[in-house]
Amino acid sequence: MLNYDEIKKVDPEIYEAIMNEVERQYHNLELIASENIVSEAVMEAAGSVLTNKYAEGYPYRYSRKTGELKYRLYGRYYGGCEYIDDVERLAIERAKEIFGAEHANVQPHSGSQANMAAYFTVVKPGDTILSLELTHGGHLTHGHPLSFSGNLFNIVAYGVNKDTKQFNYDEIREKAQECKPKMILTGASAYPRTIDFAKFKEIANEVGATLIVDMAHIAGLIAAGLHPNPVPYADIVTTTTHKTLRGPRGGMILCKEKYAQELDKWVFPGVQGGPLEHIIAAKAVAFKEALKDDFKEYQKQIVRNAAALAKALMKRGLNLVSDGTDTHLMLIDLGSEEDGGPSGKKMEGSLDLAGITANKNTVPFDTRPPFVASGIRLGTPAVTTRGMKEQDMDKIAEFIKKVYDNYDNEEKLAEIKKEVQEFTAKFPIFDYLRK
Ligand code: DSN
């Protein structure tokens, strides 16, 4: 059982900040679509003695052909890695089993580093990449000029259809045929609908591009068979491990065997140094949890909750991008400046004052800048981990509507916060940590 007694003695300031965060997570309604609450077992692994070990390189690996144990790439650069190898091998094997992948690299420290290593495996600086526009749901590392991706590569963006706010695969095909990319990238941070990876592969084949899928947001849904799996179609698939997958903060890459050697080289020594083996152990634990039947049930509940929340918000007159969701997330479209009402930034602040945590987000064809934005992104992974069900989503929608109606009234927002805290107290977390 975790406790923070030693931190309390050694570093009271950090102890206080951690305990404040425990209380914040306990009391607040966590609706950030990319966040979750990991198990105690995952936290124990992340806080284990493995943090003491350097292990540049990779573990031994079994030959796919003969089943015999063989040395992989450069092995390890340090002695004493025999148990670390067990940990990393277990993480790799479980990741492959969950997603049916030929090869897995579990070392990326984050999704961004996973993406960087994946891109370098198939493209060179200056090559053309066709990827989803950030304001239509993409990610910074999918080509934003402030990210390495937008700096190093020639990025051409595709977006969603103006009317449906969903992918139109004929429009994407047309873009691909025009720009003849070396690589096509799909996956999203704020796209609430199912992505047809088979269609993307068809388009990539037509123009001779490789296909990379960033499945970070929907990895848990895919693990449970609730969203099509990109692994059979994509050359390389990247993900984070801490979103719907409910593991520690980190990244991972899956690929076809033919890219394995090159990809591993790009992760280490290409992009990173020593792997975080304590985090890799926590990934392995989370993967074990993801292979269990109750994880599938959990993912089903995430999707049912998202559908219920979307319906309850629309029933109360709030507009959602694409009029709903197929996944764990949705985007409230707050309208443009001329429509009046709060911006995304304002609404995020008002929700915060009411004890509801969410993030502002651009909506497709947004007229406000990204730091102000006209949308709010909501997701159900964390509230589902707390045990909330469909009827609770109706209550959450009611809170959000009240905040929307009173977004500039701090007194009213403080009253709503009290109601929110009474509500979250019915779904306790971290009882073992709270004093
Ligand atoms: N920051 C993540 C998200 O919230 O979607 C993406 O990396």
pLDDT digits (tens, 9 = 90+) for 102-127: 999 999 999 999 999 999 999 999 99
Q: Are residues 313 and 259 in the same domain?
A: no
Which positions are catalytic? 54, 56, 214, 240, 243, 249
**Cα(11) to centroid(ligand 1), Å:** 31
Which of 113, 217, 328 has most ligand 1 atoms within 8 Å of its beta carbon, as the pocket-test mutant?
217
Non-local CB neighbours of 316 within 8 Å, separated by 6+ positions: 397, 398, 401
In a domain, 50, yes or no: yes
In a domain, 275, yes or no: yes
In a domain, 204, yes or no: yes
Q: Are residues 183 and 241 in the same domain?
A: yes
Domain end marker among 290, 318, 338:
290
- For residue 115 and ligand 1, the question of a CB distance below 6 A is answered with no
Q: pTM, whole model, 2 decimals?
A: 0.96
Q: Are residues 368 and 282 in the same domain?
A: no
Nearest to 198 by CA among 230, 246, 160: 230
Q: Are residues 330 and 413 in the same domain?
A: yes
Q: How many domains does the chain have?
A: 2
In a domain, 9, yes or no: no
- For residue 139 and ligand 1, the question of a CB distance below 6 A is answered with yes
**Cα(315) to centroid(ligand 1), Å:** 28
The whole-number pLDDT of residue 297 equals 98
Q: Are residues 52 and 154 in the same domain?
A: yes
In a domain, 109, yes or no: yes
Tens digit of pLDDT per residue, the chain (435 long)?
778 999 999 999 999 999 999 999 999 999 999 999 999 999 999 999 999 999 999 986 655 566 666 555 558 889 999 899 999 999 999 999 999 999 999 999 999 999 999 999 999 999 999 999 999 999 999 999 999 999 999 999 999 999 999 999 999 999 999 999 999 999 999 999 999 999 999 999 999 999 999 999 999 999 999 999 999 999 999 999 999 999 999 999 999 999 999 999 999 999 999 999 999 999 999 999 999 999 999 999 999 999 999 999 999 999 999 999 999 999 999 999 999 999 999 999 999 999 999 999 999 999 999 999 999 999 999 999 999 999 999 999 999 999 999 999 999 999 999 999 999 999 999 988 886
- For residue 34 and ligand 1, the question of a CB distance below 6 A is answered with yes
- For residue 159 and ligand 1, the question of a CB distance below 6 A is answered with no
Q: Are residues 325 and 194 in the same domain?
A: no
The whole-number pLDDT of residue 433 equals 86
**Cα(15) to centroid(ligand 1), Å:** 27
Domain end marker among 229, 263, 290:
290
The whole-number pLDDT of residue 219 equals 98
Q: Are residues 278 and 209 in the same domain?
A: yes
Domain assignment of residue 179, given as a range: 42-290
- For residue 238 and ligand 1, the question of a CB distance below 6 A is answered with no
Which atom of ligand 1 is found nearest the CA of 217? 5
Q: Are residues 284 and 306 in the same domain?
A: no
Q: Are residues 52 and 175 in the same domain?
A: yes
CATH number assigned to the domain comprising residue 155 = 3.40.640.10
Q: Are residues 210 and 174 in the same domain?
A: yes
In a domain, 60, yes or no: yes
In a domain, 174, yes or no: yes
- Residue with CA closest to ligand 1 atom 6: 189
Q: Are residues 345 and 376 in the same domain?
A: yes
CATH number assigned to the domain comprising residue 346 = 3.90.1150.10
Q: Are residues 231 and 253 in the same domain?
A: yes
Domain end marker among 290, 314, 337:
290
**Cα(189) to centroid(ligand 1), Å:** 6
Q: What is the pLDDT of residues 269-315, one digit of tens each?
A: 999 999 999 999 999 999 999 999 999 999 999 999 999 999 999 99
In a domain, 202, yes or no: yes
